Amino acid sequence: MFEIAKLLKNFQKIQGEMKDLQEKLSKQVITGSSGGGMVEVTMNGKFEVMDIKIEKKLIQGKDMQMLEDLIVAAVNDAMKKTQDLIKDKMGQLTGGLSIPGVGIPGMFGE
């Protein structure tokens, strides 16, 4: 019985720490890029795109398909960096232990 109470107490502590982590992650700024930095996408830890920067010579060009592809690649790069940041922070929180069903509410559609 004592072990269950201890486990529940630890779980509540982790839940509180996860809420704090979620708040901190929402304030993180992550930038992804493509085309050697010609397109940059900045998002926060909640996967919300905050800014897009496009080098002017890309806009003046006639190749819209390439510009669109570079934007998609930059968004995907920013998303991967955000996922890696969250995975790293969650690993620190759980001591590297993968706990099924334990995630950051509001992140990854949870």
Query: In the structure encoding, which two tokens stand for residue 10, read together?
Result: 């630890």
Q: How confident is the model at residue 107 (pLDDT cuts 50, 70, 90)?
A: low
Q: How confident is the model at residue 109 (pLDDT cuts 50, 70, 90)?
A: very low
Q: Give the global pTM.
A: 0.72
Contacts of range 75-81, beta carbons closer than 8 Å, 24 or more positions apart: 75/32, 75/41, 75/43, 75/49, 76/32, 77/32, 77/33, 77/34, 77/41, 78/30, 78/31, 78/32, 78/41, 78/42, 78/43, 78/49, 79/32, 79/43, 79/47, 80/32, 81/30, 81/31, 81/32
User: In this predicted model, what pLDDT tens digit does every residue of 20-58 receive, in sequence order?
Assistant: 888 888 899 999 999 999 999 999 998 999 999 999 988
Specify the pLDDT at position 2: 67
Domains and CATH numbers, the chain: 27-91 (3.30.1310.10)
